[in-house]
Structure 1
Amino acid sequence: MLFWIWRPMSSICCMGAPATDRNSKPRADVLIKKSMRAAQPILIAACCLALAAQQPSSSPVPKAPPGATPGAADQDITIRTTVNVVVAPVTVTEKEGRHINGLEPHDFRLYDNETLQKINEDIAFQPLSLVVAVQANWRVDALLPKIQKIGPLFSQLLLGESGEVAVVSFDHQIRVRQDFTADADLISKAFENIKAGSNTSAMVDAVSRASRMLRRRPDNRRKVILLISETRDGGSEGKLREAITDLQLANISLYSVNMNRMVTNLTQRPGVPRPSSIPTTAMRLPPGAAVTPDTVASLTGAPGQAADFAPLLKEIMLGVKAIFVDNPVEVFTKYTGGREYSFFRQNDLEKAIADISEELRAQYLLSYSPNNKIQGGYHEIRVEVTRPGLIIRTRPGYWMAAVPE
């Protein structure tokens, strides 16, 4: 997981046309023949009057901003952003998963594009800014009562000193249930007010909205998104690549607590019943039995309609395929240094939040000034510790523009 501090240096080329030179000799598309020498004074006077009418008014021409040059209108606007200090949150655990405390900066080796860096400090404290984004469409209606109860956990486990939480829910729309606050009652009420909406799940759009909210927070805050949703998007207008780039550029980590799609398929609120494709008179019934909705239900699995297990089988096939193809949640967590959790029961959900809280508190925040700024593009980060047998996790990298020497 990676956080870096930006100190942007921007240069913007302003566009403007060069001022008109009033001393330049006007051009006229009139040729005066020698045979018309007698009429030359009259024609010249008429041309001068016509040209004078086309000259700009006598109001002063606005001055171009400092640094503007003739022809700037033909140039592209250039914005250069450099990174002076990089902050890398690092999680160190034993193989059994227990967090390791008490390490010092000299216990780490940090490489930026395989170049060893000088670690400045382990930042002791950064207040947390957290956005919780909850899927709230009709597919997860049966799971929402569990989520509505978790509001108090954030003030108890995650916020700490000077922390703040915002709550967002999404179906086809993104709704800010509560803007950033440290008030435990407001946080709890925001979760309690989450209700199921349409059948769409614009997860990528919700992550982008949460990212924009966090970008407006001060630079000295720890910025995290907690996504509680299924693992696949269903109807976003934004692109996954753009969303993940925004997260990386804004130093945002994303953690997820996944709703199991098998559970949501079996517990989702039913829609309009689909008529059976088999006429009720063609179904086998016991001798002498009347054709009624009850007898049809005993054969087909639902009153007056056929039992439809196709969606569940489809989820099984897509679930197998997802092993080989990255889903959006996996991409978000992998490339921001976060982690995926899942839940079936209330205890699973609460434990996942507690584990995320423990990890955020146990992380080491290592800072350094890159000594290879001339290398533009994506910079990979690799961290080692001097103690053997430990597992290290951090954000895989960050983007930086090349800085000329």
Structure 2
Amino acid sequence: MDLGLKALALTAFLSLSFSLSPAAFAQTQPQQTPADQQAVPDAPAPQAPSPLKGIGPLTPGIGTPSSTSTSSTSGDVPQQAPATQPPASQTNEVQKTPPENMTPEDIGQTIRTYTTYVEVPVTVKDSKGKPIAGLTWRDFRVYENNTWEPLKIFTVDPAALSIAFVIDQSLTSDVMAKVNDSLSAFQGALSPYDEVAIFTYNNGPREWTGFTGAQGNRVPAVLALAKSIGRDDLVPVNSGPFGGCAIVKNGGCVDSNNTVQQGGSVGNPSFINIPKEVHTLNDAILAAAKELSTRPPDRRRMIYVVSDGKEYGSKASYKDVLHYLQANKIAVSGTLVGDSARWGEGRISRLHLPFQMYDNRLAGYIIATGGDFESQGNLNGIEKSYAQLAEESRNQYTLVYASHQPLLDSRYRKIEVRVDRPNVEVIAKKGYYPSSQDNQH
């Protein structure tokens, strides 16, 4: 009896289970979630894009016009044009020029200032003529047209030299022989960083070589070719039986063949005018200065002249040559030989008598451009002067200031350098003419 009831109950349960749907069966079963597993959220449903409000029409490549753009900032801050996204291959490149579609208002205001920087090399010597080292910028004061100018740059670093070496071949034969023997010592005064060009002059300048390395093999070879015998300094005779015109005909000199002698037109029945000496110093310095003006501005430009300083017969005037030197930052230094090197006579030779030859025009160039000179009468002194003047030019104090004068004012500007030390000699250029190379912005 009990077994029959149990069988009937089991049959009723099975029939009820098979009558239910799979979904209903699944809902009746409780879900078992492991304790270490989190429920995965459902993905968001796709939505339609929201419209762009207040932006207006878009133009490919330039974005939104500025007239329809809105600013997220308030106040007086100027609006800026939206930046254009560069291509992927140019994201690391710097855009040097603004896009063509940008207006000056979009770019903004550009302020450009021009300043004339003036460089003044200075040498300071004591009462014995020895250079003074160890000065600082506080010891110097620079005045331009009597106005104090604060220093912008001060340095004592040695500078590489660009030297135009000029040799006077119109010297007398005895002085020329000493100069010829001293030329081999000139290269020893230069450093490997220097460069040199070689010129000579007698009746007109001549360039033997352009700028080349100071320690190259070309320098001694050219110096050997630049040697000259000089001229004979004899007492002229212009009359009498030993004169150049012993026979006169119609106011002209004739020889035994009854022909007019060369130069006879300068004479008369009683005497012959003695031809004047020719010393084209101005033309030689101008030729060297033109070559120097092509050198880089970071090099110290210098003309080194070995001469007695006499000048006569040049096509270029002293005023024009000096103007060119002062406009191109060129200093003139030199070794005075011959008459200008004699004690006492060297000072007197700087004076000039009207309608006469300039006995020492070289000193004027040196003083005006801030160079230095040595007066030497023997071979040993000439050789030492090369090394001394080159070393002084290489190791000068360099002062740089900003001029207060107008940019377009091309008039001469006077410079005065003062040193706060007693009993010192200050060697610097006396002034300059502004040039376009000085303008920096």
Q: Same fold (TM over 0.5)?
A: yes
Equivalences for residues 225-264 of structure 1 within 5 A = 225-261=303-339
Determine if the alignment matches structure 1 residue 388 to structure 2 residue 416. no
Corresponding letter in the other structure for 1:371: H
2:201 counterpart of 1:173: no
Bigger Cα displacement from structure 2, 215-224 vs 333-342: 333-342
**Identity of paired residues, percent?**
25
1:155-184 Cα offsets, whole Å, 9 max, x none, are 322x32420011111111322122211234
For residue 134 of structure 2, what is the amino acid of its counterpart?
G
Cα 1:401/1:215, change in 2 over 3 Å: closer
3-state SS in 2 of match to 1:134: strand
Equivalent in the alignment of 2:405 = 372
1:143 equivalent in structure 2: 175
Distance 1:98 1:319 in 2: 21
Residue 391 (structure 2) aligns with? 358
Q: Report deviation, 1:322.
A: 4.3
Q: 2:195 aligns with which of 152, 161, 164?
A: 164
TM-score relative to the length of structure 1: 0.60
- Report the CA distance shift for 1:151/1:214 in structure 2 as closer, same or farther (over 3 A): same
Q: Deviations over 1:9-39 (max 9, x none)?
A: xxxxxxxxxxxxxxxxxxxxxxxxxxxxxxx
| Contact preservation (8 Å) 1:151, 1:187 | no
1:129 corresponds in structure 2 to 162
Q: Distance in 1 between matches of 2:392 and 2:120?
A: 14
C-alpha separation between the residues in 1 aligned to 2:363 and 2:311? 12
1:349 alignment counterpart: 382
Per-residue CA distance 1:70-126 (angstroms, 9 max, x = gap): xxxxxxxxxxxx872100011112112221112222221111112111212224243
- Matched letter for residue 209 of structure 2: Q
CA distance in 1, matches of 2:160, 2:345: 43
Tell whether the 8 Å contact from 2:301 to 2:329 is kept in structure 1 after alignment: yes
TM-score (norm 2): 0.55
**2:278 and 2:313 in contact (8 A); partners too:** yes
Q: Give the CA deviation at 1:396.
A: 0.7
Equivalent residue of 1:400, what SS?
coil
Query: Partner of 1:149: helix, strand, or coil?
Result: helix
Residue pairs, 1:1-400, within 5 angstroms: 84-123=116-155, 124-137=157-170, 139-157=171-189, 159-182=190-213, 183-194=215-226, 195-196=228-229, 200-261=278-339, 320=348, 322-323=350-351, 327-373=360-406, 377-400=411-434
Q: CA deviation at 1:196?
A: 4.1
- In the alignment, structure 1 segments of 5+ residues that lack a partner are 1-81, 265-315
Give me the whole-angstrom Cα distance separating, in 1, the residues matched to 2:346 and 2:187.
37
State the distance in 2 between where 1:221 and 1:241 align.
25
Q: With CA pairs under 8 Å and 6+ residues apart, which has the higher RCO, 1 or 2?
A: 1
Instruction: Look up the SS of the partner of 2:116 in the other structure.
Output: strand
SS at match of 2:165: strand
Structure 2 residue identity aligned to 1:177: W
**Distance (whole Å) between structure 2 residues aligned to residue 321 and residue 263 of structure 1:** 10
Secondary structure of the 1:150 match is: helix
C-alpha contact 2:120 2:429 (8 A) present in aligned 1: yes
CA distance in 2, matches of 1:317, 1:218: 39
Matched AA of 1:173: G
Contact in 2 for aligned 1:258/1:343 (Cα 8 Å):
yes
| Counterpart-to-counterpart distance in 2, 1:105 and 1:177 | 41
Matched to 1:323, the amino acid is: L
Instruction: Show CA shifts across 1:265-319 (max 9, x none).
Output: xxxxxxxxxxxxxxxxxxxxxxxxxxxxxxxxxxxxxxxxxxxxxxxxxxx9999
In the alignment, the residues of structure 1 paired with residue 434 and residue 146 of structure 2 have an alpha-carbon distance, to the nearest angstrom, of 15
Give the match's secondary structure for 1:188. helix
Change (3 A) 1:383 1:320: closer
Q: Secondary structure at the match of 2:186?
A: helix
